[in-house]
Amino acid sequence: MGFPAQRPRRLRGSAVLRRLAAETRLHPASLIQPLFVVPGRNVEKEIPALPGQRYLSADRIGTAVARAVEAGIGGVILFGQPERKSADGQSAWDAKGPVQEALRAARREAGGALALISDVCLCAYLSHGHCGVVKGEGVDNDATLPILGRVACSHAEAGTDVVAPSDMMDGRVGAIRGALDGAGFQGAAILSYAAKYASAFYGPFREVADSAPEGFGREGYQMDPPNRAEAMREITLDIEEGADAVMVKPALAYLDVLREAATRFDAPLAAYNVSGEYAMVKATAARGWLDERRAALEILTSIRRAGASMIVTYWAVEAAGWLGGRRA
């Protein structure tokens, strides 16, 4: 039976019918807000590369966390900047570092109302900007692993619920799981950036985190954009090593990877709506060429439709408001 008896437009005729027939639902609880923590006190300043986002000192993190709780989003993920960078990155595991102090402050503010996630990587802490120990003309994978474990333990000690390694070293999930368990943090979960591509869309973040790599690029350890089957292998290995959830990053240029991962794996799946994706919309909307709210929700819905159960996005708190705030 076809037209005129069949008219799909009948269920598009009003907002209530469109809502009733929606196949994909975007909920605030699936959104994760990135927060950028810096040294010092009483710091709260705009980030030029990411309009609408702010650098925050640990003593100011409580306000941002309170907004996230009120918005009803699922969690926040903390990225830190050290007071000084070094060749060994030891400030990354400093118990009094910005991220560690911010985690304690965030826990006091949020209690159990919000998942606290902490990014585990060394790029912002190492003087050369790479995600691991540099030896010769490349990154020494195996020498980096115990350092990542040490950083993860410092975050768990400070109260994180989830550590999120983003370095793309082989074997790092197993090394971090072993370090956490050995230190008595069996309850700390691991959200692995399992399929993280060497992408042009990270540009604004590298400016924000002052983490542009020196000497050579990250193509030797981040994934090559043409590869999808390799992403499935990376995800498989990370789950086998003990990842509790896995991530595809970036989101928009890799929705096919995200969809295949959602089909193939039972583990919770996250996607990162990265800085370049966000900044493009912001810049275009600033010129009046598109509606930011509609574009952002369309993007986030596409990521959810592709299979992500968790979405890291700079629009998290704002999008929750657009969606109607806290909902059961």
pLDDT digits (tens, 9 = 90+) for 261-310: 999 999 999 999 999 999 999 999 999 999 999 999 999 999 999 999 99
Is position 327 within any domain? no
- Residue 157: CATH number of its domain: 3.20.20.70
Is position 6 within any domain? no
Is position 168 within any domain? yes
Q: Tell me the two tokens of residue 167.
A: 């370095």
Is position 18 within any domain? no
Cα distances from 33 to residues 67, 85, 241, 289, 314, in angstroms, run 10, 25, 27, 26, 6
List, for residues 31-46, the tens digit of each pLDDT value.
999 999 999 999 999 9
Q: Tell me the two tokens of residue 289.
A: 């060429």
Is position 270 within any domain? yes
Query: What is the dihedral sign for C-alpha 74, 273, 118, 110?
Result: negative
Q: Is 196 annotated as catalytic?
A: yes
- Spans of the chain below 50 pLDDT: 325-328
In eight-state DSSP terms, residue 59 is G
Number of domains in the chain: 1
Helix (H, G, I), strand (E, B) or coil at 239: helix
Which residue in the list 45, 96, 135, 249 is annotated as catalytic? 249
Supply the pLDDT for residue 302: 98
* pTM of the model as a whole: 0.94
Is position 3 within any domain? no
Q: Is 249 annotated as catalytic?
A: yes
Question: Where is 134: in which H helix or E strand?
Answer: strand 134-135
Q: Tell me the two tokens of residue 267.
A: 């583990």
Supply the pLDDT for residue 9: 94
State the residue range of the domain holding 153.
Answer: 24-322
Is position 100 within any domain? yes
Is position 159 within any domain? yes
Which residue in the list 45, 85, 196, 282 is annotated as catalytic? 196
